[in-house]
């Protein structure tokens, strides 16, 4: 086997379910990301979650003890019947629909993953930040510690299936007598019943609660980026391992800048006199106030790039650009003196009666394809 799940939890191979559960809870308290934020510790936390998920489920534990690894999804070839069947019972199930559980189901199961949306500003996406969030998820019931039974009581072995979690029935067919198994209707396949459920969680072993978490947002995130917080999702039934929490980033629109990838774009509007003579335009960037140098003769539609003033690259160093697009305006109404000055300027430049310069229009895609096929 690739992984010894018994060694991961630090228990013997003949350990009882109670010993396995106690070992998992002890390690979970020591290695939880809230207690040990070290990345290596988080990997170890995932390992004990996987080991407990396998060893706490009698069916998965049986496959694992036979040489398979249920956590890998391959089945390990237990029993030698190939990837589709774990043992002879699986083959009988496939042909006769017996649906045998091969032992009681575990009341302790892994919880579901959860996801929340987090709104951030453009500068927070550019440089990274830390956010405090409120999460409503299922947590371990504090009254019964995930057991599901009222304080002072415990689960009892089901008297209908005697703890097997399934009941068998012999029927006759053209093949002879066939034994079929079904989940026990009294204990729903768990092998135990809870005579007195916990009044706080109604026997589920978990309750909903609001928690506060601190999320580190890396520089360079964009709309739709998801940040995974291992073990911060829903606690499973019976106080089982928690799923993961995903924080989906939503970037609020900025009044000045538009983001395209890691580049920022904005437009500055200047009069034609400033475009002709050149000027400097103040602009509040993400890094503070800067002056944009508009060179003499700048045309409408031209742009001025500012390097390393955009968004930090999420993977790798450096930042994108801030690209300032220039829009030149022409006055629509002139005072007599202003009109006279412009006429004198036009006369000095020989532009009193400009003929203009015409160029062919841009061809569309289909026109260019047509010309290519016709050999033009």
Q: Which of 9, 198, 188 is nearest to 107 (CA)?
A: 188
Structure tokens at 141: 């019931």
The domain that contains 314 carries what CATH number?
2.60.260.20
Statement: residue 76 has pLDDT above 60: no
Residue 286 in domain: yes
Residue 173 in domain: no
User: How many domains are contained in the chain?
Assistant: 1
59 versus 192: which is more confidently predicted?
Answer: 192
Residue 303 in domain: yes
> For residue 281, what are the β-bridge partners?
292
158 is in an annotated binding site: yes
Predicted TM-score (pTM) of this structure: 0.63
Residue 270 in domain: yes
SS3 call for 294 = strand
Residue 291 in domain: yes
- Over residues 66-82, mean pLDDT: 52
pLDDT for res 373:
54
Residue 118 in domain: no
Q: Is-contact 245 114, C-beta < 8 A?
A: yes
SS3 call for 236 = strand
Instruction: Please state, as a whole number, how many other Cβ atoms lie within 10 Å of the Cβ of residue 33.
Output: 17
In angstroms, the CA 162 to CA 185 distance is: 12
Statement: residue 56 has pLDDT above 80: yes
Structure tokens at 319: 């930042």
266 is in an annotated binding site: no
**Matching residue, tokens 């690894």:** 69
Write the DSSP assignment of 298-363 as a string of letters.
Answer: PPTT-EEEETT-SPBPSSSS-B--EEEEEEEE--S---HHHHHHHHHHHHHTT-SS------PPPP
CA distances from 255 to 265, 267, 311 (A): 11, 11, 16
111 versus 35: which is more confidently predicted?
Answer: 111
Residues in the chain, overall count: 376
Structure tokens at 139: 């947590």
> For residue 206, what are the β-bridge partners?
140
Instruction: Give the model confidence (pLDDT) of 209-258 as tens digits.
Output: 999 999 999 999 999 999 999 999 999 998 899 999 999 999 999 999 99
Instruction: Give the model confidence (pLDDT) of 249-295 as tens digits.
Output: 999 999 999 999 999 999 999 999 999 999 999 999 999 999 999 99
Q: Is-contact 237 109, C-beta < 8 A?
A: yes
In angstroms, the CA 147 to CA 133 distance is: 29
Instruction: Give the model confidence (pLDDT) of 147-187 as tens digits.
Output: 999 999 999 999 988 888 888 877 766 556 667 788 898 89
pLDDT for res 43:
80
184 is in an annotated binding site: yes
Residue 324 in domain: yes
Q: Is-contact 318 297, C-beta < 8 A?
A: no
Residue 83 in domain: no
Task: Provide the domain limits for residue 274.
Answer: 253-333
């Amino acid at each position: 086997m690739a992984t010894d799940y018994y060694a991961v939890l630090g228990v013997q191979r003949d350990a009882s379910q109670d010993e396995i559960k106690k070992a998992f809870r002890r390690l979970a308290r020591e290695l939880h990301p809230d207690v040990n934020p070290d990345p290596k510790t988080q990997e170890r936390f995932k390992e004990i979650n996987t080991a407990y998920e396998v060893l706490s489920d009698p069916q998965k534990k049986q496959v694992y003890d036979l040489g398979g690894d249920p956590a890998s999804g391959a089945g390990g070839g237990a029993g030698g019947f190939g990837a589709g069947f774990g043992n002879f019972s699986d083959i009988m199930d496939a042909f006769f629909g017996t649906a045998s559980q091969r032992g009681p189901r575990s009341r302790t199961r892994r919880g579901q993953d959860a996801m929340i949306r987090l709104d951030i500003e453009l500068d927070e996406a550019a440089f990274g930040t830390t956010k405090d969030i409120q999460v409503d998820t299922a947590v371990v019931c504090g009254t019964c510690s995930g057991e599901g039974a009222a304080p002072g009581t415990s689960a009892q072995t089901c008297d209908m299936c005697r703890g097997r979690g399934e009941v068998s029935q012999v029927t006759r067919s053209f093949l002879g007598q066939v034994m079929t198994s079904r989940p026990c209707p009294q204990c729903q396949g768990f092998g135990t019943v809870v005579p007195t459920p916990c009044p706080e969680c109604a026997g589920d072993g978990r309750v909903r609660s609001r928690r506060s978490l601190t999320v580190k947002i890396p520089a360079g995130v964009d709309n739709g980026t998801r940040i995974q917080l291992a073990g911060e999702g829903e606690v499973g039934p019976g106080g089982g391992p928690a799923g993961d929490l995903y924080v989906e980033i939503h970037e609020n629109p900025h009044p000045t800048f538009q983001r395209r990838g890691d580049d920022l774009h904005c437009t500055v509007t200047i009069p034609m006199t400033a475009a002709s003579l050149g000027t400097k335009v103040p602009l509040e960037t993400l890094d503070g106030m800067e002056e944009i140098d508009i060179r003499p003769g700048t045309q409408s539609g031209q742009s001025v790039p500012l390097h390393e003033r955009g968004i930090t690259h999420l993977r790798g160093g450096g930042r994108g650009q801030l690209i300032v697009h220039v829009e030149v305006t022409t006055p629509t109404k002139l005072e007599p003196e202003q009109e006279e000055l412009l006429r004198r300027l036009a006369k000095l430049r020989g532009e009193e009666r400009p003929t203009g310069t015409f160029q062919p229009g841009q061809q569309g895609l289909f026109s260019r394809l047509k010309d290519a096929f016709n050999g033009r």
